[in-house]
Amino acid sequence: MKNPKERIVILALFLILIFVFYATVIFSATDFSLSAKAAVLYEPVTDNFLYTKNANVRLPMASTTKIMTALVALEESDLNEEIRVADEAIGIEGSSLYLKRGEILSMKELLYGLMLRSANDAAAAIAYAVSGGIDEFADKMNEKARSLGLTDTHFTNPHGLDDEEHYTTARELALISAAALKNQTFKEIVSSKKTTITNKDGEARLVVNHNKLLNLYDGAIGVKTGFTKRCGRCLVGAAEKDGLTFITVTINAPDDWRDHMTLFDYGYSLLEMRHLARVGEFRYDIPVLDSISEFVTVKNTESLDIIMQKEAGEVKANVKLSRYLAAPINENDILGKVIFTIDGKYLGEVDLVAETGAKSSKNKGLFSIFK
């Protein structure tokens, strides 16, 4: 029986074909302009970029760097680990938690400071705690980038302060963000509007998220702001509504908040999540031959959802199931399926599974059920 992730892959492949067919229509319908030098609108389940602008141009990324910093830290450390702030992390320029020498915080508290306040000293503290140094941690960031298949991204530090060899593209920054959002702790952190972090001595800091999208756009769940004079305003956004998630990236965008809301609106105007089958929605009582049980109930035990264009048309459900069944039947046997199509093209399917078993009867002939 296919698991839900396998079904999503199948549906994603179908949607890719749909996008190829409708690509001209989609992009010719774009009637807006953005302030950003580079931008993308990305749908991660189907791995589709619905809008791109200079998406493959290598550019500096400022503090959106910290998305990868957080992802590496989450994969390489324990959230509850107590971190003594390294001397080298004190007084880093730019946004700061104003950490003190020898101060102790948990990794989770440092991550909140990193992602909400965009604290460069927190980034350095994390780097020293995880890898013993900035360069060593940057190596881990680059190793992670390679594992994601990225070829136009390179890190030299965990905070995003200017460096000629520190760069990414709008496309690859979206892919980094998609990978990070799969981590539930990361998602919880970047979607928080504010929190209080407390060090081991009981000293508390209120940290407020710099990401105004969380207040400006219904469904916004992150992700990260960034700015230096060289980079301009950088922003990675994410929104989640009705089961559909979009990731937006702008680099060097004077009007970034508006750019992102425009991209989100565009994405939600194009696509929707359709619920083709909810658990138990397809349920049938089928006669059983040569059994003490007259009927066996079959039903779908899995749901099936698909991301589709809003104008994609009507989905048809074709039930493939015998009119009669023969014993013996075991509980959870797959006895049929429901196949979903649109315009004759395969979308996906759900299995019809026996709710209970049916044993053979030695006292009944094959057609005794009709007596």
Residues 337-349 pLDDT 10s: 999 999 999 999 9
* pTM as predicted: 0.85
Quick one: average pLDDT of 136-165?
Answer: 98
User: Pick from 32, 29, 53, 23: which is nearest to 41 by CA?
Assistant: 53
Which pLDDT score, from 0 to 100, does residue 70 have?
98
3-state secondary structure of 145: helix
Total residues belonging to the chain: 371
Rg of the chain over Cα atoms, rounded to whole angstroms, equals: 26
Fold of 32-273: Beta-lactamase (3.40.710)
User: Pick from 20, 73, 42, 266: which is nearest to 175 by CA?
Assistant: 42
Could you report the per-residue pLDDT of 53-108, keeping only the tens digit for each?
A: 999 999 999 999 999 999 999 999 999 999 999 999 999 999 999 999 999 999 99
Give me the residue spans of the domains in the chain.
32-273, 278-370
Looking at per-residue confidence, does 291 or 44 come out higher? Answer: 44
CA 90 – CA 107 distance, rounded (Å): 16
How many other CB atoms sit within 10 Å of the CB of residue 346?
Answer: 11
**Would you name the residues annotated as active-site residues?**
63, 66, 118
Q: Architecture of domain 278-370 in CATH?
A: Sandwich (2.60)
Do the beta carbons of residue 207 and residue 195 sit within 8 Å? yes
User: Pick from 176, 156, 157: which is nearest to 92 by CA?
Assistant: 157
Which pLDDT score, from 0 to 100, does residue 28 have?
37
3-state secondary structure of 50: strand
User: Pick from 312, 237, 231, 234: which is nearest to 25 by CA?
Assistant: 312
